[in-house]
Amino acid sequence: MPNVKLFFQIHKIRIIIYTILFLIISSSMICYSYYQKAQNRQIQSKEQQLITESQNFNAALKKYKVVNKKYLDLKNQQVDVTLAPNDLKSAKKELFKNYDYKKMETILAKITIYLQTQEDKKNEELRLFAEAEQKARLAAEEEAKKGTITGIIKEGDTNILKATIVLLSGKTIVATTTTAADGSYTIRANFGKYTLQITKSGYATTRQSVEIIAGQSIALAAAITRSVPVAVSSGSSSTTNSSYIKKTIDTSRGTFTIHLLTMNLGNGAIKVKTDTADDNDCLNDCPVKSLQSMVNLNGGFAGMNGTYFCPTDYSSCADKKNTFFWKIYNSRLSKMINNTNGLGEIDPFLIFDENGKPTYLNQWNNRGGYSYTAGINSFPRLVENGQNILNVDSLDTKQRSTKSNRGALGIKGTTLYGVISLSSTVVDLAEIMKSLEVDSALNIDGGGSSAIYYNGAYKVGPGRSLPNAIIFTGG
């Protein structure tokens, strides 16, 4: 029995020991579990902290890279960003060394504002440059459309200072300039057809048609003449066998205004005289007279200026003042002036017999066999047999191109036409005489010498005093 009791006691002790061991083990396991959980929480917290720090760093690095790339791009575009590198260096230090991302962002914000300001400045410069370049290109394109007219304005051989040159398209002024001391001018405009108008106080207005060619320079000299006063600007007057009228006439070269003196020489009522201020040939400082005085001297009622001559207001005439070389038959003296000077001999000669009947000869040399009491020789021939036979190549530049007063004598049957056309060239004048349907016509002086005297009054002029004239008596 004692052994049994002992056995149970031992067994009880074992149970107690096992229970204690179980409790110890269980407690240890519970404590380890709590420890493990605490460790895991700490690890997770550190991991989250590292993740957050990594995210913050990456976000900051991304911002830095954006600003740095902006800096490099602007630098490559030649934008002045010289102040950025030092600030970028400071931002980089805060990013990689101090990990002060807020301070880095403050620095980056400052850099961003600076870079944007510099970029805006550069863009404005580029815009202004592009705008200037476009303006220059457009100006060059416009300039390429332009051409130039240059020339010298003269009165005879005298250069005209401060003449006004106006380029007109219809009635619109396109360009204007004035002549320099040497009479020269330059005017530019887009290509096209224009009217070149030349004006100066005391001178007749001159107009010429011109065509400007893009990219080209055209030389266009012009002559102007002193103003010719017109005593009768409108209306007409007449006698039984004569008339004066101012009218317009249409031609193939345009419409022109003319002063037209008409003499019916078929019935002998009107006689014609040609007279000179000097009774002999003259080589310098020749006498001149007004047209009115010549008409009165010959007992006439009408008259018209005669040939070209060398007036005293032309500098080129200094040693041959008021001379002329064409042949004039002096009706008062019944003698040929300039008979033997060898000039004008192949130029046309208009003669009149004692009854006033006219005859047109295409050369002075062909006068043999004719009886005449008046005659005037001049150049060039304009119309023969009703046709314009003007040799344009024989004209000088002023005769071809200068719009001025032009004079002509024309014959239609036994009717004489004395014409002064306004603002015309000699080329225009030939067409005017053809449009008047004359049989023949020759050119005489015009410009500042233009004069028509009729029934006691100047219809054109008086203009310059003259060395010769054609006079009409009777009536």
pLDDT for res 2: 55
**Which are the contacts of 297, defined by CB distance < 8 A and separation ≥ 6?**
275, 289, 332
Question: Residue 160 has what DSSP assignment?
Answer: P
pLDDT for res 54: 80
Cβ(156)–Cβ(321) below 8 Å: no
Q: Residue 386: is its pLDDT beyond 50?
A: yes
Q: Across-strand partners of 415?
A: 264, 412
Q: How do the domains of the chain map onto residue ranges?
A: 45-144, 146-223, 236-474
| CA–CA–CA angle 111, 112, 113 (5° rounding) | 90
pTM of the model: 0.55
Percent with pLDDT over 70 in the chain: 96
Cβ(462)–Cβ(292) below 8 Å: yes
**Buried-state track 227-264, b at ≥16 Cβ within 10 A, e below 16:** ebebebeeeeeebebbebbbeebebebeebebbbbbbb
Token pair in block for residue 187: 């005017």
- ω into 287 cis (within 30 of 0): no
pLDDT digits (tens, 9 = 90+) for 209-261: 889 998 898 887 777 766 544 444 345 676 788 999 999 999 999 999 999 99
Q: Across-strand partners of 352?
A: 358, 374
pLDDT digits (tens, 9 = 90+) for 298-341: 999 999 999 999 998 888 888 999 999 999 999 999 999 999 99
Cβ(441)–Cβ(358) below 8 Å: no
CA distance 472 to 374: 11
Q: Across-strand partners of 209?
A: 195
CA distance 185 to 91: 69
Q: Residue 15: is its pLDDT beyond 70?
A: yes
CA distance 263 to 244: 9
Q: Which CATH code is given to the segment(s) 146-223?
A: 2.60.40.10
Q: Residue 161: is its pLDDT beyond 90?
A: no
pLDDT for res 233: 38
- The mean predicted confidence, pLDDT, of the chain is 88
Return the CA Rg of the chain. Answer: 55
